[in-house]
Structure 1
Amino acid sequence: MGSDSPCNINELEEIARITGKRIENEHRLDNLYMLTYTILLALSVLTIWLFKHRRFRYVHETGLSVIYGLIVGAIFRFGVEERTFTTTVYNLPPQSNSCSIRLPPEKAILHLAIYAETNVSRYYHYSLTGESQRKESSHYRMTFNPEIFFNVILPPIIFSAGYSMKRKHFFKNFGAITMFALLGTLISAVAIAIICYGLSRLAPSLSESLTFSDCIYFGSIISATDPVTVLAIFNDLHVDVDLYALVFGESVLNDAVAITMSQSVDKYGSYKGSYSGAALLSSIGDFAATFAGSFALGISVGCFTALLTKYTHIRDYPLLETVLFVLLSYSTFFLSEAVGFTGIVALLFCGVTQAHYTYNNLSQESQVWTKQFFELLNFLSENFVFAYIGVSTFSFRSHYWNVAFIFIAIFACALSRLFCGLRGAMAFSLAIRNTSTTVRQMFFSTTIVIVMITVFVGGCLSLSMLQWLKIQQVLISPPFMPFKHLGNFCQIPFCTLSGEITE
């Protein structure tokens, strides 16, 4: 929509100057925060080197990343003068509506008068980024859009887990691993839900707001385990390969089950909290269909890549071969999400298929490059998540700390899964993805506390627990992760005293 009289040159220059100043200020602020995260990762790398050099096992590196994040978040929150990064705020009056629910618009187009004297107006487009405080400070910009975790941070972690598997011991124990991942995660989620719902009836602040559907959802997201500390200790102790295969394989499939389960529960649980038998059956059916579809899609893309690399001469150009491998693997995630499946599940099984078939078709250079590339991305992504957990403790907009629910949730997690149930990147990412209500904000805040407790307490006691249980040690390296995850960054030969073992 135009104006009756055009803007003069001075007015246009003033608009451009003010807009440019706003963009410059936000650009400098964003770069400051990205520099902060880069320094946090550098500190994590130096800490890992120091721990490996000193052979210190009782505190894992991820715990130090969380501590660094907490320190930086506290400094920005309490030690740095807050500045409002929004210079102009329009408070629109709430509109009356006969409906009981009124959601905020995903997008807004405002028609503003820029120069009233000359009747100059412009249309401006705004997007919904989430719930905000009335006066938002600059340190809140350290909190990213939750979709960044699912589209950028999580895919390298999940694909690397599948791609770094060795098929012999994984498929040898596949039945037990699947049983632990499916049945074990289901039992854990239901147990946590029942305990949280039952004990919350005793707390006045929770009895009215927390429903059983909410508890099932929380049980699903918090059942995503991340036993990175246990696996790192397994590497150092050279435990039995079957035990390593069970723990590692279950942790990988557990993430896939947890995310699919949480999405199914969230889809069929009504907003009133009533979770009927029909909704339960619908959730089970949706879970089975989504998991099977994602499984088939991931394997299909992996097989397509294997055939493409086998029957073409692209191996003559290792750089192009590696780039194509990365692009096709990453496209699995977006394709699965686009058709309504779960990208994380599809990407996991795509990684397993790529390791099983495609890897043998790659040139020697591409084999080394792909292994190192995804191991590098995995290392950076996971350490970034743990550092971000510490930072978001102070920078997140809408924390809701309910002490009663925090203690209830910790008690429920301790009863369901303790030392093999450390919470990490997946649980945090699932919790931060939806914080639209007070209950979801409480879940996110509680998840942060549980992650910290399991990382610090459970991680520190893992070595003592393994020694107390007298876990059998053998002179053999674990069958997974040729580039040791968060551990030794050189490839260790897979051998015994009697000679080399091949697959």
Structure 2
Amino acid sequence: MSLASERNDIELDEKIKEQHRIDSLNLLLYMMLLITTVLTVWMFKHRRMRYMHETGLALVFGLVVGALIRYTSVPSAISHVEVKAVSHPTYNGTLPPDYLWYHMKRKLENRTYAYRLTGEVEDLTGNQFAQQATFDPEIFFNIILPPIIFNAGYSLKRKFFFRNLGSILCFAFIGTTISAFVIGGVQYTFGLLFTYKPSLLDCLYFGALISATDPVTILAIFNDLHVDVNLYALVFGESVLNDAVAIVLVTAIENYAKLYATAADGFEAIAFLKAIGLFFYVFCSSFLLGSVMGCATALLTKFTHIRDFPLLESSLFLLMSYSSFLIAEAADLTGIVAVLFCGICQAHYTYNNLSDEARVRTKDFFELINFLTENFIFSYIGVSLFTFPKHQWDFAFIGCAFVSFSKT
């Protein structure tokens, strides 16, 4: 190997090391945000100040840090090479390829490097640290979100939840669906009067998104005031299920768009009925999958002696629960629905079969993970407000959103 080749390898290693350093700094940034949030929450609880929930604090801290990254960081040079696509038998040019292979010719050897698709580039010479602050969506949906949803089902007060199950399902299914269509319809109607002229499908997407409310502050106040347990169960149960309903609603809207490509300009009854059918298929299949995984865990813990080894018992519990999410996603179902009902079944059946040590360990573990991941998400939202490169501000749309949401 020549001296020039060795020098190039050293420079490449330094570049990889620098990228690793930037990734570590981004993780450290969020760790410091979480530490600050924890200490501030402790101070609020110690001083008995209850006018702000910890998720709101995490959002505020994220906004501050995001602004600092956006406006005070020194831009770092990002090397790039402009390329043009050529005709290729396996590439039609309509969508970007998954990888780009870059051939580097040297005096004594040739090397090929693969560059993976990460998304559309907005700023070629911007702040690399700010760009890295945006986490991979796959990490968010596959790693961060499932523990939050599972803990929501696992921490349910089963007695009062099942006593009010009919009302909870009515609020979650019918209420969320009506809210999504009312907000979407009002948003579309108001939008026609202004300049942005939205499509009906986009407004329905927005309606489904905004209808999935998460009343964390209200539940915290209910807990402090010791309100009626049935009222608490109704609000908490509806807030748990409406996330799953909203996600399946979005899936149904996407299926409608696929079945009827011109849905933005009209209405097609057959495609609408098929989308409704897919809605119930996805939800029911995900529900059955999660329930089966929860019951399978209950049977394993009941008819085996794995409870004699609490560490293995807790590991099996965690892996079976997380597998329900991955199986649903791999089967093109909704992992959120599956892991939610898996958590409910685990709480109702498996929990009674666990050893005392495993009960304490699983409860504490998921409570801790839920607290950290929930605050991480709100911190990330705050940071992304300034670092995300594709924000579009339309004050007419925002004003109409407030009006449409108040109508519900």
Instruction: Report the TM range for the smaller structure's normalisation.
Output: over 0.9
**TM-superposed deviation, 1:93:** 3.2
1:396 to 2:388 alignment: yes
Paired residues of 1:131 and 1:398 also in contact (CA < 8 A): no
**TM-superposed deviation, 1:354:** 0.3
CA distance in 1, matches of 2:387, 2:86: 31
Distance change (3 Å), C-alpha of 1:185 and 1:96: farther
Equivalence for 2:167? 176
Name the SS for the 2:99 alignment partner.
strand
**TM-superposed deviation, 1:103:** 3.9
CA distance in 2, matches of 1:350, 1:213: 31
CA distance in 1, matches of 2:172, 2:116: 39
Q: TM-score, normalised by structure 1?
A: 0.77
Equivalence for 1:299? 291
1:226 to 2:226 alignment: no
Name the SS for the 1:41 alignment partner.
helix
Paired residues of 1:268 and 1:283 also in contact (CA < 8 A): yes
User: Could you report, residue by residue, the CA deviation over 1:325-382 in whole angstroms, capped at 9, with x for unpaired residues?
Assistant: 1011111100111111100000000000000000000000000000000000000010
**TM-superposed deviation, 1:21:** 1.0
- Among all aligned residue pairs of Structure 1 and Structure 2, give the percentage whose two residues are the same amino acid: 51
Equivalence for 1:129? 118
RMSD of the alignment, in Å? 1.7
Equivalence for 1:26? 19
- Return structure 1 stretches of 4+ with deviation > 3 angstroms: 93-97, 101-104
Paired residues for 1:268-307 under 5 Å: 268-270=256-258, 272=262, 273-274=264-265, 275-307=267-299
Q: Structure 1 unaligned runs (5+)? A: 1-7, 417-503
**TM-superposed deviation, 1:250:** 0.3
Paired residues for 1:149-298 under 5 Å: 149-204=140-195, 206-207=196-197, 210-270=198-258, 272=262, 273-274=264-265, 275-298=267-290
**TM-superposed deviation, 1:107:** 1.2
Equivalence for 1:55? 48
CA distance in 2, matches of 1:134, 1:291: 40
Equivalence for 2:34? 41
Paired residues of 1:111 and 1:121 also in contact (CA < 8 A): no
User: Could you report, residue by residue, the CA deviation over 1:25-58 in whole angstroms, capped at 9, with x for unpaired residues?
Assistant: 1111111111110010011111111111111122
CA distance in 2, matches of 1:102, 1:283: 30
Distance change (3 Å), C-alpha of 1:284 and 1:386: same
Equivalence for 1:451? none
Equivalence for 2:58? 65
CA distance in 2, matches of 1:340, 1:260: 12
CA distance in 1, matches of 2:94, 2:365: 42
CA distance in 2, matches of 1:267, 1:128: 25
CA distance in 2, matches of 1:281, 1:131: 35
Paired residues for 1:86-105 under 5 Å: 86-87=78-79, 89-93=80-84, 103-105=94-96
Equivalence for 2:367? 375
CA distance in 2, matches of 1:292, 1:238: 35
Distance change (3 Å), C-alpha of 1:106 and 1:227: farther
Paired residues of 2:152 and 2:240 also in contact (CA < 8 A): yes
CA distance in 2, matches of 1:282, 1:396: 36
Name the SS for the 1:110 alignment partner.
strand
Distance change (3 Å), C-alpha of 1:349 and 1:24: same
Equivalence for 2:338? 346
Equivalence for 1:318? 310
For 1:406, give the aligned amino acid.
I
CA distance in 2, matches of 1:95, 1:265: 36
Paired residues of 1:107 and 1:125 also in contact (CA < 8 A): no
CA distance in 1, matches of 2:252, 2:97: 23
Paired residues for 1:462-501 under 5 Å: none
1:109 to 2:109 alignment: no
Paired residues of 2:85 and 2:93 also in contact (CA < 8 A): no
User: Could you report, residue by residue, the CA deviation over 1:65-96 in whole angstroms, capped at 9, with x for unpaired residues?
Assistant: 11100110111111111113x32x12123669
CA distance in 1, matches of 2:229, 2:31: 36
Among 369, 384, 398, which residue is 2:376 paired with? Answer: 384
Name the SS for the 1:132 alignment partner.
coil
Q: Which has the higher helix share?
A: 2
1:355 to 2:347 alignment: yes
**TM-superposed deviation, 1:398:** 1.2
Distance change (3 Å), C-alpha of 1:160 and 1:395: same
Paired residues of 1:189 and 1:216 also in contact (CA < 8 A): yes
Name the SS for the 1:269 alignment partner.
helix
Which stretch shows the higher mean deviation, 268-277 or 152-161?
268-277
Paired residues of 2:102 and 2:114 also in contact (CA < 8 A): no
Paired residues of 1:185 and 1:223 also in contact (CA < 8 A): yes
CA distance in 2, matches of 1:366, 1:331: 19
CA distance in 2, matches of 1:95, 1:113: 18
Q: TM-score, normalised by structure 2?
A: 0.94
**TM-superposed deviation, 1:255:** 0.6
Which stretch shows the higher mean deviation, 164-173 or 289-298?
164-173
Paired residues of 1:260 and 1:290 also in contact (CA < 8 A): yes
CA distance in 2, matches of 1:122, 1:282: 51
User: Could you report, residue by residue, the CA deviation over 1:257-278 in whole angstroms, capped at 9, with x for unpaired residues?
Assistant: 0011111212321554245222
Name the SS for the 1:28 alignment partner.
helix
Name the SS for the 1:129 alignment partner.
coil
User: Could you report, residue by residue, the CA deviation over 1:170-223 in whole angstroms, capped at 9, with x for unpaired residues?
Assistant: 01100000000000000110011111111111112x12xx21011111111221
Equivalence for 1:364? 356
Q: Structure 2 unaligned runs (5+)? A: none
Equivalence for 2:320? 328
Equivalence for 1:470? none
